[in-house]
Structure 1
Amino acid sequence: MQLCQLRNSTRHVESVAEPQETWDLIVVGLGTAGAIAAVAAARHGLRVLGLDRHTVMGGVGTGGAVIGYYFGSRGGVYERLDEQARATEQEVFTPSHGVNAEGKQYVLEREALQAGATLRYETTITGVLLEGRTVKGLACFSPERGSYTAGARIVIDGTGNAELARWIGAELRGGRAFDGQPQPFSNPLVRLDGKRVRGFYTDSGYVRPEQPASMSAAIVDSALLSTHLRDTYTEEERFLRVAPQLGVREGPFIVGEDNVTLASFLDDDYTREPVFIAYSNIDNHSKDVAFESDLQRDWTVVAGLWGLKFTVPIPLGALIPQGFDGLLVAGRALAVDHDMASCVRMKRDMQQCGEAAAAAAYLAIKRDLPLAEVPYAELAPLLRESGCLPERHKVYFEPRVAAGEPAPPAIEWLTEPEDIRTGLAGDKPGIAIWSARRLGEAIRQHLRQWLQTEQGGHLQRHSAFALALLGDEAAAPVLREMVAERDPFVPRTSLKYNQVRGYTAVYLLGKLADREAASELIALLHTREAFRFDDANREFLSDERDLRFQYVSNAVTALARIGDRHTDLRDRIARAFARFRDELDGTLIISFKGTSEIRHVMDDKLAHYTRQAAARWREERDHAHAAAAADRMAATSSTVADEDAGRRPSRVDGV
């Protein structure tokens, strides 16, 4: 048996003796997913050891003070535990809007212990025991017990950051492609609202939760922000508690035996054997959306579908690190990608993820099978019995509505041209735009015809959006018009987070690599005025400064793509980028969701993006010059060889 450790971020492996104690299942990280996994597994009759470096069970729902729910699927063990936690309010804890944090922690610990689980807090994992590529246990340290090893048939990584998966060398990914940045983190707080406790939050910045230095800086810096540390507090602003745990939305993800990506999901490629069903919208809190993937921008910016909720079936393979056995990853580090993670991360769903992991571990141990071979025919009924998995499930989409409004009917993608035309002609064109994208060639000629309708009208401009998503350059002239006039219209497809039509056109001109737009986009880099702010869109944009950043950041990414396509424009764009960097003065900023007080200066991101593009072009140019020089040298060598051959006397047999 080998012990895998991380020393100065380097993986170290050494041989060890048999573990000092053994368990059926060890759960590391008793947070949102891990707490439910420990309770559920113990109820299945497994000998369970639960470990956490903190002194609280329940994660963001308890120590993190996120006491409400934002979507997610109902059903399963967590719902009955929530009911018990609410019952404690009658006798012990303060009534809450949501699930009282202290009450839930008490119930989780009580139920875990009554089911037979052993809980150990203030415990640090120092290594992972491996046989080949199968996890066999852990090396641990706590002030009470010192260093020791614990063996297990299965280990659940509920750390949220795939820490155990990283130690054994499993492949991880995370963040967006441009800079690896995850979503912003938040600072949850609680205060009295009448006679009940209410939780709220403000987004406070960015953090890499797997990096200790990044976490330490985020904890300290965010505590000193004006949203928390005020000169004076009104009665309404006084806090009962600032959560000691940051509201981290995203960290690393495993590459699993099965992987759930937004691209495959939107192409109708998803599992028919789910262990739970996630349910939310693409709730990405980042406002520097120009640096997100094309797919996410197509969905949330062009089509304005940020608020469209949908169900996502999650297979067991998304909890198993690819190529390994004996380890399940439960919680936000499961095998999704950055684009899908904004949807598959809600508290309800992560609790169901923990329950699914516990059920899979139980069957693997009971049947003495590798995790990847747990029979779905046995796993599904186990999850249905508790309500974690519905009896019948299907993928569906529905709009998000304001609180108190009746639940809307499920959305059907449009297939008839007249229905798409009607949608494009209105102020909520998103479903029609995405429906046109799905239809592709079947709708192209209709879109081109509608492009010739009344200049400046919704039908013409939204048809241009749909055509651009199909890569059709016929949309470019209309898109250029929108950019030139800084079209201020904001479609209302989503309840919130709708995007201004003017800078959406900027993005699409880059997607088309439209060379004729280069001059207008370069001018945008230096423009500081003439951006018309719509106060009705304050949820996404706080003011004109936020709006200017959206135009400029989209112009930067669009120009880079134009340069990628058109080599003759690269020098001009590179010079414009250099001048732009010289002019950066801290005025290109974004606000964060939940507050307009906190501003994040984007100069470094913009400078990095422009330098990255210029370096890419220089590298391609140097490579082309080197290849041309090599070709010239080869041609010269061939010519000399031919001339030498002409001067060499011919061979005559026998001479």
Structure 2
Amino acid sequence: MIISHKINDQIVQTPFEDQSSHCYDVIVVGLGTAGAISAIVAAEKGLKVLAIDKLSSMGGSGTAGEVLSYYFGSRGGKFEEIDSKVTSYRSDLYTPSVGVNGEIKKYVMEQMALKAGVDIRYESSVTGMLLEGTKVLGIEYFNADGFHYPRSSVVIDCSGDSYACDLAGCELREGRSADGKPQPYSNVVVWHEKGRVRNFYTDSGYVNPSSAEDMSRAIVESAIVSTHLKETYTDEKRWLRVATMLGIREGRCIVSEDDITFKNFLDNSETDCPVFHAYSNLDTHSKDIALESEHVQDWLVASGLWSQKFSVPVPYGAFIPKGYDGILVAGRNIGVDHDIASHVRMKRDAQKCGEVAALASYLAIKNGSSIRDVSYVELLELLQDSSCYEEGSIISWLIDPAEIMEGLSGDKPGIAIWSARRLGEPIVNSLLNWVNTENENLRKHAAIALGLIGNSQALPVLRQIVRERDPYVPQTSHLYSQARGFAAIYLIGKLGDAQMISDLIDILENAIPYEYESNDRSLVYDDQDIHFQYFSYVWTALLRIGECHPDSRERIEIALHRVLGRSDLSLQFSLHGESGIKHSMQDSLRSIAQNYFESWNRN
């Protein structure tokens, strides 16, 4: 047996003599949204369970994190029973609150866990993993009583940031490919108003949850933003507390045996053996969408489908770190890529993850099998019995050209644009006819659809949109709506249109006041935000054009260096919550460009 630690960001494995007198069926690392459910369900199935957490309560973001309401996620499963008990405990002892009362939920889950026999260890941190090769046999953890070395048949990593998997040496991924940034984090405050406890959050920027130094910075900085730290507080809206934990939307995810990717969803190549269906929109809180992948920009920028809800089938293999045995992951850190992580992270679905991992552990132990060999049929039967599994919803895409034309002609063209993209070549001739019509919406939206398909005959209309700085904002989405000008710039870059290099450089160098025709200010609050959007889309479009046309690279590189060297350059944007809180992106844009330049110079 070996013990695996992480020292100075390096995995260090040393021989270990088994000193443990404590053996468990299951060890749950992290008692948050997924972990609390895992511990309870596993113990109620008769397993001997140890559960550890750095905090002193159960429930994670849904209790200590003060995220009390549900957004999306699919219904059904153990959490419904728990929430029902929370509702039944409401009394004069508790002030009514929005959503599921977090303080009562802490109590209900802890009582259920203790009744089921869970051995709970609060204020405890996992510090190492016990292994034989790539099979996990237990953990090392530390608390006020010192170091402990319990063994188990299965370890379930519900830390939200893959701490246990990281210590074991599992392969992880984090952040987007452009600059490594995850989803923005938030900081929730709680106040009392009109007889009810309420909560509010401000998106506070980016943080690396695996870095203690960066987390410390984020905790302090986000607690003193203008929406939280005020000059005066009144009894009418009395501030109660800042949440115990930050609202981290994305940490490190495992590379799993069956990863879930947004590309697979777009290509209809998802698993046909799901353990549940995650349900949400692509709930990205990023406003620097120009730095996201082309798949995300196809969906959000060209099609404006931020509000579109859809189901993603989640396979059991996404719970298993690639190449490892004896360990499962549950929660937002299962095997998802960055693009889909903003969808497969809702509280309901994270709780379902916890239930899946617990029931899979139960089957493996009951049948004496590896967790990798758990029967899908048996697991699905258990999940159906608990109502954790239900069929997902299906989006009704358009296939009739007449209906697509009608959709492209209106102010909500997103479904029609994506439907045309799905049809591909069979709809191209119709799109080519429509780009020559006098109907402005039909002409421009047909060009966007053609550009998504990859047809360069869209370029004349796309160039017109860019040169006009078209401020029109389609209303497909109720939030984060993208101006038609942004979509055209993105597609110009996607199609590698070298003819537009001069026009794009002109936009960078001449920051004229831009119009933005929308009452929806979720994406842009002010002129500074609009300028950042134009700048970032042009920036990435030029780099994509340079990728396609080596003879244009020197010109592009010189222009971008010149722009970044300006002393008056300010590239800041607002996140959700407060227009006055700005986030600088100059370093990210500079770093992204430098990566391209180095690649070009090598070639």
Aligned equivalents of 2:375, 2:598: Cα separation in 1: 51
Q: Distance in 2 between matches of 1:254 and 1:395?
A: 26
Residues of 1 paired with 2:556 and 2:523: CA distance? 30
Question: Which digits, 9 at most, give the CA deviation of each residue in 1:492-544, with x for residues without a partner?
Answer: 11121110001211111011111111111000102222300335120111112
User: What is the Cα deviation at residue 183 of structure 1?
Assistant: 0.6
Q: Who is 2:151 aligned against?
A: 151
2:394 to 383, 393, 396: 396
The question of 1:371 aligning with 2:371 is answered yes
* Secondary structure class of the residue paired with 1:240: strand
| One-letter amino acid of the counterpart of residue 374, structure 1 | V
SS in 2 for 1:13: strand
Aligned with 2:412 (options 424, 428, 433):
428
Q: Does 1:500 align with 2:494?
A: no
**Considering only aligned residues, what root-mean-square deviation do their CA atoms show, in Å?**
1.3
- Taking structure 2 as the reference length, the TM-score comes to 0.98
- The reply on whether 1:579 has 2:562 as its aligned counterpart is yes
The worse-fitting range, judged by mean Cα deviation, of 345-354 and 590-599 is 590-599
2:530 matched residue in structure 1: 547
Instruction: Give the conservation status (yes or no) of the 8 Å contact 2:478–2:520.
Output: no
Is residue 414 of structure 1 aligned with residue 398 of structure 2? Answer: yes
Q: Does 1:124 align with 2:125?
A: yes
Residues 276 and 313, structure 1, Cα contact 8 Å, conserved in 2: yes
User: In the alignment, which residue of structure 2 is the partner of 1:133?
Assistant: 134
Task: Tell me the equivalent position of 2:170.
Answer: 170
Distance in 2 of aligned mates of 1:91 and 1:320: 45
Say yes or no: does 1:292 pair with 2:287.
no
Task: State the alpha-carbon separation in 2 of the partners of residues 222 and 192 from structure 1.
Answer: 20
Kindly tell me: are residues 278 and 394 of structure 1, through their superposed partners in 2, closer, same or farther at Cα, counting changes over 3 Å?
closer
* CA gap 1:334/1:584 in 2 versus in 1, 3 angstroms: farther
The answer on whether the counterparts of 2:473 and 2:518 sit within 8 Å (CA) in structure 1 is no
Q: Computing the radius of gyration over CA atoms, which structure comes out larger, 1 or 2?
A: 1
The aligned counterpart of 2:587 is 604
Contact 1:586 1:602 in 2 (8 A): no
Deviation at 1:238, TM superposition (A): 3.3
- 1:613, CA displacement in angstroms? 2.6
> 5+ residue gaps in structure 1?
398-411, 621-655
- Segment drifting more, 291-300 vs 16-25: 16-25
Gaps of 5+ in 2: none
Letter in 1 for 2:596: A
Whether the 8 Å contact between 1:490 and 1:537 is mirrored in structure 2 is no
Deviation at 1:618, TM superposition (A): 2.0
Note if contact 1:585-1:603 (Cα within 8 Å) is conserved in structure 2: no
> Which residue does the alignment assign to 2:259?
259
Question: Which 10-residue stretch deviates more, 360-369 or 129-138?
Answer: 129-138
Distance 1:488 1:140 in 2: 56
User: Comparing 230-239 with 55-64, which one deviates more in the overlay?
Assistant: 230-239
Aligned-partner residue type, residue 381 of structure 1: E
Aligned-residue offset at 1:380:
1.0
Could you tell me how far apart the structure 1 residues matched to 2:553 and 2:143 are? 58
Partner of 1:448: 432
Confirm or deny that 1:87 pairs with 2:88: yes
C-alpha displacement of 1:129: 0.7
Between stretches 44-53 and 2-11, larger displacement belongs to 2-11
**Separation in 1, partners of 2:202, 2:550:** 44
Q: Does 1:482 align with 2:480?
A: no
Residue 109 in structure 1 maps to residue 92 in structure 2: no
Q: C-alpha separation between the residues in 1 aligned to 2:393 and 2:90? A: 37
> Which AA in structure 2 matches 1:413?
W
- Aligned residue for 2:565, secondary structure, equals helix
**TM-score, length basis structure 1:** 0.90
CA distance in 1, matches of 2:53, 2:436: 63
SS at match of 1:597: coil
Amino acid aligned to 1:468: G
CA distance in 2, matches of 1:286, 1:482: 25
C-alpha contact 2:233 2:239 (8 A) present in aligned 1: no
Give the Cα–Cα distance (whole angstroms) in 2 for the partners of residues 131 and 564 of structure 1: 46
Contact in 2 for aligned 1:53/1:123 (Cα 8 Å): yes
Name the amino acid aligned to 1:617. W
Q: Is the 8 A contact 2:29 2:35 kept in 1?
A: yes
Residue 48 (1) aligns with residue 31 (2): no
- Structure 1 residue 28: Cα displacement: 0.6
Provide the residue aligned with 1:594 in structure 2: 577
2:456 corresponds to which residue?
Answer: 473
Contact 2:37 2:78 in 1 (8 A): yes
What is the percent sequence identity of the aligned residues? 49
Q: How far apart, in 1, do the equivalents of 2:227 and 2:568 lie?
A: 25
> 1:246 & 1:275 partners in 2: Cα distance?
29
Q: Please state if 1:21 is matched with 2:22.
A: yes
Distance 2:187 2:388 in 1: 30
- Paired with 1:549 and 1:529, the residues of 2 have a C-alpha distance of 12
Q: Identify which range, 88-97 or 317-326, moves more after superposition.
A: 88-97
Match in the other structure for 2:10: 10
Tell me the distance in 1 between the aligned counterparts of 2:169 and 2:161: 14
Write out per-residue CA displacement over residues 18-43 of structure 1, whole angstroms, 9 at most, x where no aligned residue. Answer: 32310111101000000010011111
Distance 1:579 1:586 in 2: 11
Instruction: Give the drift of 1:91.
Output: 4.5
Q: Report the Cα offset of residue 324 of structure 1.
A: 0.7
The residue number in structure 1 matching 2:75 is: 74
CA contact (8 A) 1:140 1:149 kept: yes
Q: For residue 340 of structure 1, give the secondary structure of its aligned residue in structure 2.
A: helix
Q: 1:221 aligns to what SS in structure 2?
A: helix
In the TM superposition, residue 232 of structure 1 has moved relative to its aligned partner by 2.3
The 3 A distance-change label for structure 1 pair 612 and 10 is: closer
Q: SS at the partner of 1:50?
A: strand
1:371, distance to aligned residue in structure 2 (A): 1.0
Contact 2:277 2:392 in 1 (8 A): no
Contact 1:533-1:544 at 8 Å conserved across structures = no
Give the deviation of 1:231 after TM superposition: 1.8
Residues 147-188 of structure 1 deviation map (CA, whole Å, 9 limit, x = unaligned) = 121010111001111111111111111211111100100001
Relative to structure 1, the CA distance from residue 605 to residue 43 in structure 2 (aligned partners, 3 Å threshold; closer, same or farther) is same
1:646 aligned partner:
none
Q: What SS class does the counterpart of residue 127 from structure 2 fall into?
A: strand
1:142 aligns with 143
- Structure 2 residue aligned with 1:192: 192
- Structure 2 residue matching 1:49: 3-state secondary structure: strand
SS at match of 1:490: coil
Spell out, residue by residue over 1:302-328, the C-alpha distance to the aligned partner (whole angstroms, 9 max, x if none).
100111011111111100001111101
Cα shift at 1:235: 4.7
Residue equivalent to 2:601:
618
